[in-house]
Amino acid sequence: MGEQKIRNMEEFAALSGISRPTVSKYFNDPNSVRPSTRERIEAALEHCDYRPNIYAINQNRRLTKNIGIVVPFLADPFFAEIARQIEQRCIAAGFWPILFSAHGQQELENNILDSLRSLKPAGVLLAPLGRASDRKKVEAFCAEVPTVLFDSNIAGIGEAFVGSDNFSFVSQSVEYLSRTGEPPCFFEMRTPANPNANKRRAAYFKTMETLGLEPRVIKIEGEGWSFEEIGRDGARRVLEDRSLPTNTVLCSNDRLAIGFLAACYERGLRVGRGDGCALRVASHDDHPFSRFTCPSLTTVAHDYDSVANRSVETLFELIEGGGRLPERTETLFPARLVLRASA
């Protein structure tokens, strides 16, 4: 046996060169992986100082092999994409994902949590509504069921949080737009449904002030998750009354920007960087359809793969640890600026 001390399954997977889900699948049932893979895992076990916590694994086998996945609004393409990636990783590790959408409603989110309790899942990945969540209800659920929060953080709740660094989204977009043209105004809903919207507005103010520029925020009316329609109607109003303080518009998210582009098209306004363009429009998220808008949308992209992968890996660590981690962790992944034709 080698001298290297391996502390957990993630380190063993990295050392053996075998994916973490496959290693987890092996320890749940050695016959569930290919013979050649099983041989590689068993050979690696012979050469390192690692044995999994069999007691914890056996205790977890009393639970179902279900993993609950809860998102605020599945019709939002961001949540559809992140849920798709999470589902694939759970299946690869031998678990069965069950997906729920709260449809933006606190009561429905509460009912989902109650339903999950009765299903006795091995663990849950929860993207809460955030400000609209019933904090006490979510906190009580996380105390009973191994839960990792993703995308939307509620401080102090759950064993871990994994998401995107909202400041990195906005700082990149504001710096790029200010360097290449007029500084941007910030276009958002007066009552945002997206739990990350307030963090993005705060990042806009901080970045503009750091650059020595005056922050200018345009708040539009509208509630709920119909962001494209809300963005179009709000853009119609500001375009009609000519209240835009600059020819550069930075939208809080891509779905609002898609609505803004629609309003520009209706008025015959050309959007983009070239000659004859009246406005530049940019946003955040890299919505799966943003490259197909006309013009294609300049945006700042989530690291979908890293957020999904780390969320699932953290949940597996939590399950193997008997439902508790040594301390609550928060992991944020930086965003990536994607330059397209709109700005």
Please compute the mean of the pLDDT values over residues 259-270 and round it to a whole number. Answer: 97
Please compute the mean of the pLDDT values over residues 108-123 and round it to a whole number. Answer: 94
Q: Using an 8 Å Cβ cutoff, are 157 and 149 in contact?
A: yes
Q: Using an 8 Å Cβ cutoff, are 183 and 208 in contact?
A: yes
Q: Give me 14's structure tokens.
A: 């990295």
Q: Which domains does the chain have, with CATH numbers?
A: 9-52 (no CATH), 63-164+304-335 (3.40.50.2300), 166-301 (3.40.50.2300)
pLDDT at 209 over 50: yes
Q: Tens of pLDDT along 72-89?
A: 999 998 999 999 999 999
Give the whole-angstrom CA distance, residue 130 versus residue 132. Answer: 5
Please compute the mean of the pLDDT values over residues 237-261 and round it to a whole number. Answer: 97
Alpha helices, DSSP H only, in 120-223? 135-144, 166-180, 197-210
Burial label for 216, CB within 10 Å (0-12, 13-18, 19+), is middle
Question: Percent of the chain scored above 70 by pLDDT?
Answer: 93
2-11, 228-237, 274-283, range with the lowest pLDDT: 2-11
Q: Which of 117, 113, 128 is nearest to 161 (CA)?
A: 128
Q: How far apart are the first and last CA of the chain?
A: 58
Give the pLDDT score at 63: 63
pTM score over 0.85:
no
DSSP-derived secondary structure letter, 162: E
Give the whole-angstrom CA distance, residue 41 versus residue 30. Answer: 10
Give the whole-angstrom CA distance, residue 48 versus residue 200. Answer: 45
3-state secondary structure 22-35: HHHHHHHCHHHCCH
